[in-house]
Amino acid sequence: MEEVQHEVWQRLAPSASPGPAPDPEELCAFTDLYGTLHFLVSLQIIETTLDRCMVRSNTEGFLHKLNLTNAGVKIHLTFKLDEEMYSRIFSGKAERLALKDQTVIMDVASSIMQPPLSVVTGLWCQRAHPLSGIGLPLLIPPEAMEMGLCGELTLVPVSVLAPCVLWYPNLATSVTRMQVLLYSPIILPLMGPSAFLQQLPNCLALEELGLSGLTFTPTHSTPSDPLCSDIVYSIEKAQCEGTELEWIPAVKQTLSLFLFFQHCDPFHSELSDFMDSEELLELHLEAVLMYNRDALIAALNSLLQITLKDQQQRHKAQEKMVSAQAVMLSSVSSVVSSSTNVEFRAACLDRMMVA
C-alpha cells in the first residue's frame, strides 16, 4: 500500500496536495464502527479558482463509477467545504463477473427501482443481470506505440438492462436511456467525453435493435443521478408506443454498456510501469477507439442484439395482444348484446365493469 500511495502522490495535479493526517480519536471511532481501514487517501485542493461544488460532484461521480465495478470495496468519502463537513458511503451488492483475463466485482443492486403499482411488492427482481460479450483484440495506433503503449490490448464489453422485468412478460417496457462507461485495465473509470462515442448512434443498427431515436445527451455526474455517465444517450421515441395500457404505465429501463480495457505487456514488472500504461491509454483513448472503429461497432451491435432479443420478442407479443383486443371486445359485445337472457347479460356487464 505504501508503494501505491507513493505513486498517487507522484501523479497528483498541481492544484492538489496530500492532506493532513486524520485525527487519532476520529480514526479510532471510525475503525470501531466500520472495522479495519485498509487504505486511506487524504487530499486537499489549494487552487482557489476551482469550483469546489463541481469538484465534489465529479469526485462523487468517479467514486460511484469505481464502486459499480469494485463492489467488494466499501468506500467512505468525507468532504470539507468552507468548514462544512459532508460524508457519503459507496457500497453495493457484489457479484463476481468473469471476463477474458480478469474478474470484476459488479454491483448488481445499483439499478434497483420501485416496482409499478401493478406488481405485487416482493416479487420484483432485486438485481441486475450483467451480460458479457466476447473479448475484442484491439490494434494500438502507431503514435501511441511510439509513446510507449505496447503489448496486447483487448476490450471486453458488458451490458446491463435494468430494471429486470423478465418475471412479467406482459408488462410494457421502454428503454429510455443508454449510457457507456469505460474502465482501464486496473478497472478504474476513464473519465471525460469521447467524440467517437458521441457519434455512436450514427453507427449502430438502431432500427434492428429497436432503439430508433437514440441521440447523445450532454450531461455530467450528479448525486441525484447515481448511474450518470459522461456518455449518455436518450431515446426520443418510446418503443412501447401502441402497446402501453392506459392504466399500467410502461416501466422505463436504462441500458448500460461497460467497456473494460485489458492490457498485457510482458516487459512490465514494476507498479510504475502499469501506472504509465494507464496514463498512456487514457491519453490516447480517442485514437484507440477510432483506430478500431469498425471492429468496435460490430462487437457492440452483436452484444446489443443479444441483450435486447427478449425485449424485442416481448414487444412483438404485446403488439399482437393489443391488436387482438379490439376483435376480442367486439366479439364479447356481440355475444352479450345478442343474448336474450337478462340475467346473463347483467352478469356479463357487471364483470366487464369490474375488470
Return per-residue pLDDT of the chain as tens, 355 residues: 666 677 666 767 777 778 888 888 888 988 888 888 888 888 787 766 667 777 788 888 888 899 999 988 889 888 877 778 888 888 888 889 988 778 899 988 866 566 666 665 556 787 889 999 999 999 999 999 999 999 999 999 999 998 888 787 777 888 889 999 999 999 999 977 789 999 999 999 998 888 888 898 876 555 445 445 678 899 875 554 554 555 567 788 899 999 999 999 988 878 888 888 999 999 999 999 999 999 999 999 999 999 998 877 777 766 676 676 677 777 777 877 788 888 888 888 787 764 4
pLDDT of residue 245: 52
Amino acid at 274: F
**Could you give the CA distance from residue 323 to residue 87 in angstroms, rounded to a whole number?**
53
Q: Where are the domains of the chain?
A: 2-90, 94-307, 316-354
pLDDT of residue 339: 80
Amino acid at 335: V
Q: What's the chain's length in residues? A: 355
**Could you give the CA distance from residue 240 to residue 287 in angstroms, rounded to a whole number?**
38
Using alpha carbons, list the distances in angstroms from residue 162 to 113, 154, 166, 175: 9, 26, 10, 9
pLDDT of residue 355: 47
**Could you give the CA distance from residue 155 to residue 99 in angstroms, rounded to a whole number?**
10
**Could you give the CA distance from residue 318 to residue 312 in angstroms, rounded to a whole number?**
10
Sole residue written with cell 451488492: 93
**CA 171-172-178 angle, 5° bins:** 120
- Report whether the peptide linkage leading into residue 201 is cis, meaning its omega lies within 30 degrees of zero: no
Q: Pairing state of beta strands 136-138 and 103-107?
A: unpaired
* pTM, rounded to two decimals: 0.83
Using alpha carbons, list the distances in angstroms from residue 271 to 5, 249, 333: 11, 52, 76
